[in-house]
Amino acid sequence: MNKLCSMKEAIAASVTDGCSLVIDGFTHLICFAAGHEIIRQGRRNLTAIRLTPDLVYDQLIEAGAVRKLVFSWAGNPGVGSLHALRRRSEASSPERLELEEYSHFGLLSRLLAGSAGLPFWPLNNYAGGDIARVNPSIKTVTCPFTGQELAAVPALRPDVAIIHCQRADAEGNAQVWGLLGSQKEVAFAAKKVVVVAEEIVSTERIRKDPNRTLVPGIIVSHVVHEPWGCHPSFVQGFHDRDNDFYVKWEDISRQPETYRAWLEEFVHGVKDRQGYLARLETGLLDKLRAKARVCEGVDYGY
Amino acid sequence: MATELSATPTASERMAYRAAQELRDADVVFVGIGLPNLACNLARATHAPGLFMIYESGAVGAIPERLPVSIGDPSLVTDSLAVVGQADIFQCMLQRGLIEVGFLGGAQVDRWGNINTTVIGDYANPKVRLPGSGGACEIAVHARRLLIVMRMSKRTFVETCDFVTSPGHRVNGKSRAELGMPGGGPTRIITDLGVLDFDATGEAVLAEVYPGVTPEQVRAACGWPLRTADALRTAAEPDVSVLRLLREKLDPQRLYL
């Protein structure tokens, strides 16, 4: 089935006010285009979930789209803080965001349980520390075989997962290489999956390299073709991270006024991703484009 | 091109070099970003060419060509031995017990090596909201040896952490053994003034100072009454060839130095 549609259509059809949502990616493959479209469509009261909420989650928070954040590490990687998040989570802030906090493996375990259709996932962690003390969703379980006490976290089934990938076919069979993050677990845990791809290719091309497929089309509801949809994040083999932006963001996001002005110009002030790309500094995309490093193919014959 | 090179190491250079001395050839190390990453690359370029670097983002056996600016840098993927999902990293590498050395830093550390990267102040009403655990909590639980790398001040070396994100040798009154933690816990805290080891009870004691630093200076920068080991050692410092390597090859843009 052909599931191709525009980002606008995919977000309108899948992300509703009050839903729980993951825009996944671990530094790599973070779909800023999807986050910006959610802001433009004015979604409210979202539960935003990701191990590593970063700039696009902070932008969703600043834009007033998020009621609750479920996470394990929140920052501007290698640079600094998420300032909208800090402004809404410190004692001095009037409008507080609800936070539910784990370590990476704890939150990942919730997604593993969700993706496996199990009620919980055990992990050897948290004994004595304060993370479990402040999060009532972290409990303990006794192993029925060894008697060992382990931490246990409940399954997480987000309403929507948005997964960016290098290439997909129109059915949503999505191929990813480079850092895989938790894209697979998030996709299988979610009730609805939107795949966003740098390239749309034929199913025949997907079938020629089946081991590369991370998310199979049978769990995908919408497919969006959005080249450069991850800027300023990166896509292995397509383009590098725009590190200068991440550094500049520290200054832009520190003051609410400059933050809002940026959202006005680059999110509200454009119609879609093409409009955003057109506002970037001339020559930037060429500068970020990946230098080829093609691997040798493998033989799938028998 | 020969350039003018100051032979005096900066605090970061001292720490990166001293941390590198802790790494042995063929150690499997869970690499954090910043100084730990620099220390690992320095060890690999000098005495530990077989150092096996695993990154939380999924790169296994990485040999990054440029200094990664984040733990998820694309240069970690290129020429890695394997790239796996994060579930595999945490389940099959870390919880499985494959990691010999882990590195952590934080906003606060206490005398038992507990680390706080979550909040300053009360959890529900924090004065400062920090990034949180990430993988730090599980690295502290599972790594066979944990190295803590932090600059020393009364603000960061505290009597009691506001929040224990990553457990050390005693957490809220209980030992690692009582809590059933598989990893060995912190072995050293490498600071800009000296190095703290842990005694048999799990308490940090001053074991090394850099040349020119007195134990009094170190104690003055510590928020608890820091004890000094019976035999105080002198911490190793980088020579000019190492400084050149650090400054010109490993971190030419001075991202971390």
ipTM: 0.95
Does B69 have pLDDT greater than 90?
Answer: no
What are the angstrom distances between the C-alpha of A151 and each of B23, B95, B97? Answer: 31, 13, 17
Which of A85, A91, A129 minimises the CB distance to B121?
A91
Distance CA A189, CA A20 (A): 12
SS3 content of chain B, % helix, strand, coil (to 5): 25, 25, 50
Residues 6+ apart with CB under 8 A from A207: none
pTM given for the model: 0.96
Catalytic residue among B56, B100, B138, B203: B56
- Which pair of tokens denotes residue A294? 């093609």
B163 and A149 within 8 Å at the Cβ level: the answer is no
Tell me if chain B has a CB within 8 Å of the CB of A98.
no
Q: Which of B137, B160, B175 best probes binding to A when mutated, by most A CB atoms within 10 angstroms?
A: B137
Residues 6+ apart with CB under 8 A from B9: B17, B237, B238, B243
Q: Identify whether the C-beta of residue B167 lies closer than 8 Å to the C-beta of residue B106.
A: no
β partners of residue B120:
B128
Q: What is the pLDDT of residue B131?
A: 96
Tell me if chain B has a CB within 8 Å of the CB of A81.
yes
| Model confidence pLDDT, tens digit, residues B90-108 | 999 999 999 999 999 999 9
Side chain identity at B155, as an amino acid letter? R
Number of H helices, E strands in chain A: 12, 13
What is the set of domains in chain A, with CATH numbers?
A: 4-101+159-285 (3.40.1080.10), 104-154 (no CATH)
Going by C-alpha positions, the residue among A13, A47, A17, A22 that lies closest to residue A187 is: A22
| Model confidence pLDDT, tens digit, residues B14-41 | 999 999 999 999 999 999 878 888 999 9
Low-confidence ranges of chain A (pLDDT < 70): none
Place of tokens 């389940």: B91
Q: What is the pLDDT of residue B3?
A: 56
Q: What is the pLDDT of residue B71?
A: 83
A124 and B142 within 8 Å at the Cβ level: the answer is yes
CB atoms within 10 A of CB B164: 24
Going by C-alpha positions, the residue among A199, A201, A205 that lies closest to residue A300 is: A205
Tell me if chain A has a CB within 8 Å of the CB of B132.
yes
Tell me if chain A has a CB within 8 Å of the CB of B191.
no
Q: How confident is the model at residue B1 (pLDDT cuts 50, 70, 90)?
A: very low
Give the burial string for B1-25 (b: 16+ CB within 10 Å, else e). eeeeeeeebbebbbbbbbbbbbbee
A180 and B58 within 8 Å at the Cβ level: the answer is yes
Tell me if chain B has a CB within 8 Å of the CB of A101.
yes
| Model confidence pLDDT, tens digit, residues A73-125 | 999 988 899 999 999 999 888 889 999 999 999 999 999 999 999 999 999 99
Residues 244-273 of A with CB under 8 A from B: none
Distance CA A184, CA A207 (A): 19
DSSP-derived secondary structure letter, B91:
I
